[in-house]
Amino acid sequence: MSNLVRPLRKILLLEINEVPWQLIDRFKTDPRFPHIRKFFDNAKTYTTLAVDSGELSPWVTWPSFYRGMSNQEHGIKNLGQDPRTFKGKPLWEDFRELGLSIGICGSLQSWPPSDPGEGGFYIPDTFARDERCIPRYIEPFQKFNLGQVAKNGRAIKKDGVISKDLSGLLASLPKLGISRSTIIQIAKQLCMEWIDPPRVARRSTFQTILLWDIFKSLYNAHNPPAFSTFFTNHVASVMHRYWHHIFPEEFGDRYLTQPKIHAATMIFALEVLDKILADAMQLCKVNPEITLVFATSMGQAAIHRDEYQGFSSAISDIPKFMGVFGLQKTDYKQLLAMVPQIAVEIPDPEVRYHLIQKLNNCYSMSGKPLFKVEEITSSLSITIRTPPAIDIKLKKFIYKNKNGESIDLSWESAGITMHQVEAGTAYHIPEGIMAVFGCGIVPQDSRQGIKASSCKSLLLKLAFETTDVKSAYTLL
């Protein structure tokens, strides 16, 4: 590709995490979402298929999408993993090597930021190791985001996402481009929560609303970066929790007579998506060189958790957890991860080895292994397995030391908490979405299958060539 100097199309990739065709088909004709319908009615559509082995996770499937290879090839397994262990090259690096600018906003595993070129910008994902962004005035906002993720809670909290801290942050950062309508929307949300408590579930979506405002302030439609991304998880998080409120018929009689209060939560999430698509299609109208791509690296579908006993475990106090196994704060650095995982960096191999041995010798009171540990260079990904309810009620677990002695440790002493939460009713499936919209794109709702690892080739071909892009990637 060394002969490519100027792209024929400027790619704007909307990474709408884990949305499946089933959800689009349910709501596309709903008059509340006219821009979702307009986009898909005028797009060329595909069905992406994740190619990764093992349990599907977005921090693995998106790198496969960006790098054009499976997880067995790129080696990305966990959040917090050292980027120096990653193999392959993400799509945006191809553009930079050609001297073209990029605009990255939230793409998974995109830390650390690198020079985006003239007119570009670079905001890593919210699991980044630090708040560095380009331009730097975004960093206080990113620091706030990272702080929210560091709380690492699965339950929705009244002090999460929207808080007094955020209000002060926004007031001190006029450069961010947060719109007046967004501020009004936040104020309305806070007021309505007193009247309608289930609205608290909408709070996480405001992270997307705020970030989209920031993206729009950075993205110059008249002279955009050659390749830009915007990642959002707001629809995926609602599907995981409340699929049964959207598709109750998929669970037999279990939920048919229950109130579907969180159907409104999904409607709100889709209203935000509809607004994003409206804005993005307007960018295409301003500059016909912009081609809009809607993509998911996998999807979601109903899951039946018949054995779920109503509890979920979390390592909520990492210093206390590390301390009970003999580590000092100077022995490790906490990295960001997603419940039920934590991630830490431990430079000393001997300290790391002994911690792994100790964790592998922890059991619930009924003898079930309690932790799963993955080691990649100096970082550890530690997953706590939720034990049976009978073990949770005993409020302790067993650690077998090197002498074979069993020592009882309380959940509290180890910084472990047990939450009573409803089981999620949707989970990951290999099938996702890709849809291309823009000048010169012939609408065709064929939904032809394409491996997620072939999407990089498709997008590069789309950006640089006017010939039939079919030869650039593998259709199924």
Are 239 and 370 contained in the same domain? no
Query: Which residues, 6+ apart, have CB-to-CB distance to 388 below 8 Å?
Result: 309, 364, 366, 368
pLDDT of 166: 59
Structure tokens at 23: 């959800």
For 310, the token pair is: 């109503």
State which of 378, 401, 420 marks the end of a domain: 420
Note the pLDDT of residue 340: 83
- In this prediction, residue 4 carries a pLDDT of 45
Exposed, middle or buried by CB within 10 Å (0-12, 13-18, 19+), for 282? exposed
**CATH code of residue 183:** 3.40.720.10
Per DSSP, the three-state class of 10 is strand
Residue 290 β-bridge partners? 10
231 shares a domain with 380: no
Torsional class of 335: left (φ above 0), alpha (ψ -120 to 50), beta (otherwise)? beta
Q: CA torsion, points 190, 193, 195, 198, in degrees to nearest 10?
A: 160
DSSP three-state, residue 261: coil
Domain assignment present for 4: no
DSSP-derived 3-state class of residue 341: strand
- Establish if 344 belongs to a structural domain: yes
Q: Are residues 89 and 157 in the same domain?
A: yes
β pairing state of 290-295 and 444-451: unpaired
Tokens of residue 327, six digits: 């580590």
209 and 335 assigned to the same domain? no
Are 295 and 383 found together in one domain? no
**CA dihedral of residues 59, 60, 66, 72 (deg, nearest 10):** 160
Tokens standing for residue 419: 């939450």
297 and 347 assigned to the same domain: no
Q: DSSP string of 372-403?
A: EEEEETTEEEEEEPPPPHHHHHTTEEEEE-TT
Range of the domain at 392: 311-420
Per-position pLDDT tens, the chain of length 476: 444 457 889 999 999 999 999 999 999 999 999 999 999 999 999 999 999 999 999 999 999 999 999 999 999 999 889 999 999 999 999 999 999 999 999 999 999 999 999 999 999 999 999 999 999 999 989 988 888 777 654 444 454 455 545 555 655 567 899 998 998 999 999 999 999 999 999 999 999 999 999 999 999 999 999 999 999 999 999 999 999 999 999 988 888 888 889 999 999 999 999 999 999 999 999 999 999 999 999 999 999 876 666 678 999 999 999 999 999 999 999 998 887 899 999 999 999 999 999 999 999 999 999 999 999 999 999 999 988 888 898 999 999 998 889 999 999 999 999 887 777 789 999 999 999 999 999 999 999 999 999 999 999 999 998 544 444 445 55
The total domain count for the chain is: 2
pLDDT of residue 467: 47
Does 407 lie in the same domain as 372? yes
Residue 1: inside a domain: no
pLDDT given for residue 144 in this prediction:
87
Indicate whether 173 and 316 sit together in one domain. no
| Burial class, 396, CB count within 10 angstroms (exposed 0-12 / middle 13-18 / buried 19+) | middle
In terms of domains, do 32 and 50 share one? yes
**Domain match, 210 and 350 both:** no
Q: 114-137 burial by CB neighbour count: b if 16+ within 10 A, else e?
A: bebbeebbbbbbbbbbebbbbeee
- Name the 3-class secondary structure at 436: strand
